[in-house]
Structure 1
Amino acid sequence: MTLEQLINEHHGLLNENDEYVLGFITRNMEKSIKQTVSELARQANVSDSTIIRLTKKLGFKGYGEFRYFLKEEYVRNQKTRVDMSDLFQPTILLEDVQVTIKLFEDDKSVEDIYEAIRRSKRIFAYATGHGQRMMLNEFARCMWNLGIYIIIVPEKNELKLISNDITDEDLLFVVSLSGRLNTLEEIVRKIQLKGTQLISVTRFGQNKLASLADTSLYYQVTNINNVNGLNNSSFCTLNLALSLLYEGYLNYQKMNS
C-alpha cells in the first residue's frame, strides 16, 4: 500500500494538522526518512505527540514503524522514477495538456454544466482520491470569487448521508481518475434517482461514472503508473480541466448578467 492509499483509507480520522504534516513529509520525503520524531516535529513546526498520534491514526504502532514504511515508499518511488522516466517526458505532458484543452473546447455539453451551476440550489462535490480532492478544493476556492460556494464532501460515509437529503434542485460533481465506482455505485445511483444533476470529471474514455452522469467533463492522461495507479501528470491536466471550467463559467456569468 502506498502513502496516498493510506491517506485515502484513513482520511476520515485526519484533521487539518495531520494533513499539513503529511504534506510536509511528502514534499520532504528524502529528509524525513532520516529524521527522528523530534527532528521531524521541529522541521514541521509541530509537537512530537502530533506526529505520534498521526502515525497511529494511519495504523502504525509508532513512529519507528511509520518511518520504515516511508523508507520503503521512498525506495519504491525512486525505482519507479527510473523505470518509468521515459513515460514522463515533457512532450507527453504537453500532448496531454493540448488534448485536454481540445476536449474542453469541443465539448458542446459544457454549456449544460454552466446552466446546472447557475440554477442549482446547492452544489456538492466529491473526489475519489486524495490528489483529486486537492484539485477539487482549489476549484471550489476559485468559485468563491464568483459567489458560488461548493460543499466538498470529504468521505464516502458523508456522501451516503447527503444522499438522504439531496434533491433535484441540487448538483453533484464527482471527480475520479479511472471513473470506476466500486462501492460508490449504489450511493451514486440513489442520488441519480432523486433527480439530482450529476456531473462526472474523469480521464478521457469510457467508464462507469461517466455512463451514469448527466454530463461529463474529461481530461487526458496518457500513461498510468502500474505501481501506484497514478500518472504524475494526471493532477496537472485535472487541474487544467477544472480551471477551464472556472474560466468558462466566469465568461458565461458575464454574458448572462
Structure 2
Amino acid sequence: MTIEELVNSHYDQLNENDLYIWQYIYHHKRECQKMSIQELAHSCNVSHTSIIRFCKKIGLDGYSELKVYLKWSLNRQFDFDSQIMRKVTDELKGTLDMMGNQDFDHLLKLIDEAKRIYVYATGEVQFHAAQEFNREFAYRHKIMHVIEGRTELDTVLNRASKDDLFILISLSGDNETIVLLSKVLEKMKIKTIGIGIDNGNLLSQHVSEYIGFKTSYFHTGFQDKSYCCTGHFFLIVNMLFLRYLEYCSLKEHQQFVLS
C-alpha cells in the first residue's frame, strides 16, 4: 500500500492539523525523506508529537516507518496500469451523471438571487475554471468576478455583504488559504459554493453548498510526480451553466403562467 493509499484509507480519522501535515509531506516528499522529525515539525509549524500522532493515525508505527514509505514511493519504478484509462473515464462519466441528475435547485437559486458573485480558486487549472465560470454565465448577463491574488481578496472581503455569493474552487479542498476563507465567509453569514474532490475535506464542511467529484491520483513515471484528471472542473462549469439555463427557463415559464 502506498503512502497516499494509507492516508485515504484513514482519511476520516484525520483532523485539520493532520491534513496540513499531510499536504506538506505530499508536496515535499523528497525533502521530507531526508528530514528529522524535529525538522519536519518545524516546517509544518507543529510539535513533533503531532507528527507522531499523524503517523499512528494512518496505521504506521512511527516516523521511521513513514520515511520508509516515502523512500519506497520515490524509488519505485513506474508501471502504467491499463485500468487507469477505464477508471478515469468512469470517474468523468460519474461527474456528468451527477451534474445531470442531482437536485441543484437551492444552489441555482443562490446564483440567481446573488447581488454579486465572486469566484476564488487555488491552483492554475482551478483559476482557468473560474474564468470559464465568468465566460459562460455572461451569456445570461450573470457576471462572476474572478478574484486574482490575496490583495484583491482583502479588498473584496471589506465590501462583501450577505447578498453576495462566493464560489470557492480547490482540488483537494484542504488548501489552507481557501479553507480559512470559507470559515471567514461562514462567520460573515455570506453564502458559498465549494467545488473540489468529494472526500469529506475541510472546504466541504464550511460552505453552504458543495459540488464534489471523484478522481484518482496515479504516478506519471517522471520523478515522484503524481497526476489526477482535472477535467471535472470544466465539466462542472459547463453542466452547471446548462442547469442554470434550465432553471431560468422554468422560472420564467412559471411567472408567465401566474401572470
State if a TM-score over 0.5 links the two structures.
Answer: yes
Which among 243, 249, 255 is matched to residue 238 of structure 2? 243
- Pairs within 5 Å for 1:132-151: 132-151=126-145
Report the AA paired with residue 173 of structure 2.
G
Q: 2: CA distance between counterparts of 1:123 and 1:95? A: 32
In the aligned structure 1, how far is the partner of 2:157 from the partner of 2:185? 5
CA contact (8 A) 1:124 1:152 kept: yes
Query: Quick one: which amino acid aligns to residue 121 of structure 2?
Result: A
Distance 1:157 1:184, change over 3 A: farther
Alignment partner, residue 180 of structure 1: 174
Residues 172-205 of structure 1 show CA distances to partners (whole Å, capped at 9, x for unaligned) of 0000110013144433322222221110001111
| Code of the aligned partner of 1:156 | R
Question: Residue 129 of structure 1: which of 120, 123, 131 is its match?
Answer: 123
1:92: which partner in 2?
Answer: 87
1:177 aligned counterpart, secondary structure: coil
Alignment correspondent of 2:194 = 200
**Residue 170 in structure 1 maps to residue 164 in structure 2:** yes
CA apart distance, 1:239 = 0.9
What CA distance in whole angstroms lies between the structure 2 residues aligned with 1:159 and 1:210? Answer: 20
Are the structure 2 counterparts of residues 215 and 134 from structure 1 closer, same or farther at C-alpha, using a change threshold of 3 Å?
same
Q: Which runs of 5+ in 1 are unaligned?
A: 1-81
Q: How does 1:1-257 map to 2 (within 5 A)?
A: 83=78, 85-86=80-81, 89-108=84-103, 110-223=104-217, 225=219, 227-228=224-225, 230-231=227-228, 233=229, 235-257=230-252
Relative to the length of structure 1, the TM-score reads 0.62
TM-superposed deviation, 1:92: 1.9
Q: Distance in 1 between matches of 2:150 and 2:218?
A: 24
Structure 2: state its 5+ residue gaps: 1-76, 253-259
Larger CA Rg, structure 1 vs 2: 2
Q: Is the 8 A contact 1:103 1:218 kept in 2?
A: no
Q: Is the 1:87–1:223 contact (alpha carbons within 8 Å) kept by the matching residues of 2?
A: no
Deviation at 1:136, TM superposition (A): 1.8
Further displaced range: 222-231 or 176-185: 222-231
How far 1:236 sits from its partner (Å)? 1.2
Give SS of 2:118's match: strand
Q: Distance in 2 between matches of 1:99 and 1:152?
A: 27
CA distance in 2, matches of 1:90, 1:155: 35
Number of residue pairs matched by the alignment? 175
The Cα of 1:224 is off from its aligned counterpart by: 5.0
The 1-side partners of 2:165 and 2:93 are apart by: 29
Q: Secondary structure at the match of 1:86?
A: coil
Give yes or no for contact 2:173–2:179 (8 Å, CA) kept in 1.
Answer: no
CA RMSD of aligned residues (A): 2.5
Deviation at 1:154, TM superposition (A): 1.3
- Give the secondary-structure state (helix, strand or coil) at the position aligned to 1:179: coil
Quote the residue 1:14 is aligned against.
Answer: none
Q: Aligned pair in 2 of structure 1 residues 193, 224: CA closer, same or farther (>3 Å)?
A: farther
| Shift of residue 222, structure 1, vs aligned partner | 2.0
With over 3 angstroms needed to count, the CA separation of the structure-2 counterparts of 1:84 and 1:216, relative to structure 1, is farther
Cα displacement (A) at 1:211: 0.4
Q: CA deviation at 1:89?
A: 3.8
Answer whether contact 2:178 2:203 (CA < 8 A) is retained: no
Q: Is the 8 A contact 1:160 1:187 kept in 2?
A: no
Whether the 8 Å CA contact 1:219–1:241 is kept in 2: the answer is no
- Using the TM superposition, give the Cα deviation of residue 230 of structure 1 relative to its aligned residue in structure 2, in angstroms: 4.1
